[in-house]
Chain A
Amino acid sequence: DTGVSQNPRHKITKRGQNVTFRCDPISEHNRLYWYRQTLGQGPEFLTYFQNEAQLEKSRLLSDRFSAERPKGSFSTLEIQRTEQGDSAMYLCASSKTGVNTIYFGEGSWLTVV
């Protein structure tokens, strides 16, 4: 499967713990996006990378959230000191420069208990 790959697919964590999600984009896609989706809502933009550079961050991305894409390939999204309100599906997506189409991964479900 050469699509966008995310892991873990599901994560249950206790409030206050840190979690990290990984995203492997479609190869040769230099743009990588993170979105968050809660039940009954559309995906909400969190942040975006062009190669290794993080070019834009949403106001939704509080100080407890950090995303990296160190070598311009895979990306990680870390949430520190998780809160119940962080429970959501975290979607990663990728695209090529000059092409509008954004391809999504299957998402990583986070449940904070």
Chain B
Amino acid sequence: GENVEQHPSTLSVQEGDSAVIKCTYSDSASNYFPWYKQELGKRPQLIIDIRSNVGEKKDQRIAVTLNKTAKHFSLHITETQPEDSAVYFCAASIRTGTASKLTFGTGTRLQVTL
């Protein structure tokens, strides 16, 4: 089955700096890669996603890049703010006719300091 690895496990940046979180996946058939943000005790919330036919996607301060050849994808957050502090999870899925279950990474705890 799919295996997703995520690094780093913790990341501390100063407000205004950029943060980068990296993930690798094992199954070349994976074609959908979402990123979720989870605050303490809250639900995972989708912040951005990318499909395998796209190399990069941007939404305001958040961007995701995908390298299918190397089987890795990254989350970039620019101009970080204290409210960006949370745990971020990458995920991968193989979209089939009936299922699109997600395999998650182990998470990155992002701390944005003042």
A residues within 8 Å of B by Cβ? Answer: 4, 31, 33, 40-45, 48, 50, 55-56, 91, 95, 100-107
Contacts and interface: CB of A to CB of B under 8 A. Distances in A.
A101 B34 contact: yes
Q: What 7 pairs between A and B have smallest CB-CB spacing?
A: A42-B104, A104-B43, A45-B101, A100-B32, A106-B43, A42-B89, A104-B44
5 contacts: A40-B107, A45-B103, A91-B44, A100-B32, A101-B46
A100 B104 contact: no
Give the one of A4, A41, A45, A50 with max B CB within 10 A: A45
B101 A101 contact: no
A33 B101 contact: yes
Contact of B99 (A4, A40, A48): A48
A100 B95 contact: yes
B107 A44 contact: no
Interface of B: 4, 6, 32, 34, 36, 42-46, 49, 51, 89, 91, 93, 95, 98-107
Given A42-B89, A43-B104, A100-B34, A105 B43 contact: yes
A44 B101 CA distance: 10
A100 B99 contact: no
A104 B95 contact: no
A66 B44 CA distance: 24
Given A41-B107, A43-B89, 20 more contacts: A40-B107, A42-B104, A42-B105, A42-B107, A43-B44, A45-B101, A45-B102, A48-B99, A50-B98, A50-B99, A56-B99, A56-B101, A100-B49, A100-B51, A100-B93, A101-B34, A101-B46, A102-B102, A103-B46, A104-B44
A44 B89 CA distance: 12
Nearest to A46: B101
B53 to A, nearest CB: 12
Contacts of A40: 106-107
Contact of A41 (B46, B91, B99, B106): B106
